[in-house]
Structure 1
Amino acid sequence: MTELTTEQERVREQESAFWYLIPHGYLQLDLNPPVEQIEALVRQLLGLPDEMRDRAEEVLRFYAGVVTSLNANRVQACLVGSHPDGAGGIAFSVLTVSTVPTSGSNAKLVIANLAGTAATSPDQGMRPLELPCGPGFLVEKKLSATIPGRPPEGHDAFSQGRVWQGTVAVTGAGTPDIIMIQMVTASVELADDYRDILLGVAHTVTFTDPSLLDAGSSVEPERESAAASIRSDFG
């Protein structure tokens, strides 16, 4: 686990300020890179040999497209995780945290209504959650998705694969937005482990500035709690 992360400096004043713990094994993608950093990347790209430049340009364009898309969808954080898969390989996942405006509605009432629907519709892959920050709900899906990269040689269409997607929605008292925490992985067979990580992160969400806590207090999760479980997933 790393330090508590605040989105307060990155979101507009009318949006929610919230904090959460980042699980072990996740690296945060910079969604607001400084101009100087982009200029330095371009200079490095231009200095590459011809045979490497096309591929590097493709990667840079992909990164720019991802960042643009994430910012357009109010994503406040995007983290890429890598963990041993138990079979000698590496399992990858993407964890995103975003805000969804409720268009003047009471966010807490919206969550309560959806949690109620989840309680009466377990066949829809939804279930209600009672989190330290308030009520929420979990949605799980298995979806078809395009595999990143170039199409296989001799084919025009991109390859398709299956991914597991888990989403937790939460909010807090007086908060104008719904906070969406989403986990996606192509390692569908490890869905149980990734669900534990997702729920662990959700249990650490707080709308109270940790700096206001007493100096002697601890933000460590209780043992056996969902938050604590993200310490030990994947060993």
Structure 2
Amino acid sequence: MAEPKPEFWYGLPYGYLSLDLRPTPEGIQETARQITLLPPEHRDRADQAFRLYAAVLTMLRKREVMGCALGMHPDDSGDPTLSVLTISTVSTSGTNPNAVLMQLLGGESTGSGVADGIVPVEIPVGTGYIWETVRRTPSPAAPPEGEEGDEESREGTVWQGTVAIPRPGGASIVMLQLVTPAVELSQDYRGVLLGVARTVSFTDPAEEATAHGSSGTSPASDAAERSPFG
């Protein structure tokens, strides 16, 4: 069955791996089979990660997330830092797009951030709106239910950046969100988030490549010039 044509396109920065949000039943069964073949000392950890993946898939589907990517990058000390990038849309059909946008901004723009509020940013497809929060959230490394542990250790602090991009015609709003526990690197991750926002396009790249081909311009060189990631 042919995949439906995307409503928009975007680029991923270096160090991010897309999460398969629609795995086939055969793929899931094969992964489960491979886990059973692992040595006992690794099997439990792999099974926990597999169950977490299944839970995350269910949550993302309920929220109609269209894309999700996991990032791993070294910090100043060379230690790995993790982040999660999600891409979704909010429908505005039959409603006032500005009202929906303001409701989103008003409901999310709490906490510390750039000027403690919403900042408009100019990107190739028009005007987007960025806001940031620093908040407490349950930690994935928290002790399982029933086991003892410090309540403080069950939570962690994360930086969350969001960019909202209204689609032309007011059909929907594209939402880009980046979350990381590396709060001290928020300025760097803000740059990553804005970089992704600058790659968003409502025009099929294949059609752009065809147009460039007919005009004699090299699509590869033009894409490299426009890419914020080099």
**TMscore range, shorter length:** 0.7 to 0.9
206-215 or 105-114, which moves further after superposition? Answer: 105-114
- Please give the residue correspondences for 1:60-99 in structure 2 after superposition, counting only pairs within 5 Å: 60-99=50-89
- Please give the residue correspondences for 1:20-169 in structure 2 after superposition, counting only pairs within 5 Å: 20-48=10-38, 52-107=42-97, 110-111=100-101, 123-151=115-143, 154-155=148-149, 157=151, 159-169=154-164
Contact 1:96/1:183 (8 A) holds in 2: yes
Distance 1:113 1:47 in 2: 50
**Two-structure CA RMSD over aligned residues (Å):** 2.9
Selected match of 1:191 from 186, 192, 195? 186
189-198 or 155-164, which moves further after superposition? Answer: 155-164
Distance 2:103 2:40 in 1: 57
| CA distance 1:129–1:90, change in 2 (3 Å) | same
Aligned partner of 1:219 in structure 2 is 223
Deviations 1:35-90 (A, max 9, x none): 11111122223344556544433222211000110111011111111111011211
69-78 or 209-218, which moves further after superposition? Answer: 209-218
- Please give the residue correspondences for 1:203-214 in structure 2 after superposition, counting only pairs within 5 Å: 203-213=198-208, 214=211
Letter in 2 for 1:94: V
TM-score, normalising length: structure 1: 0.78
1:219 is paired with a residue whose SS is helix
Shift of 1:220: 2.8
Shift of 1:9: 3.4
Distance 2:126 2:48 in 1: 43
| CA distance 1:175–1:32, change in 2 (3 Å) | farther
Q: Does 1:202 align with 2:202?
A: no
Deviations 1:112-137 (A, max 9, x none): 8978xx9xxx7542111222112220
TM-score, normalising length: structure 2: 0.79
Distance 2:131 2:188 in 1: 15
Contact 2:86/2:177 (8 A) holds in 1: yes
Percentage of identical aligned residues: 44
Q: Which ranges in structure 1 are unaligned for 5 or more consecutive residues?
A: 1-7
Letter in 1 for 2:47: E
Aligned residues: 211
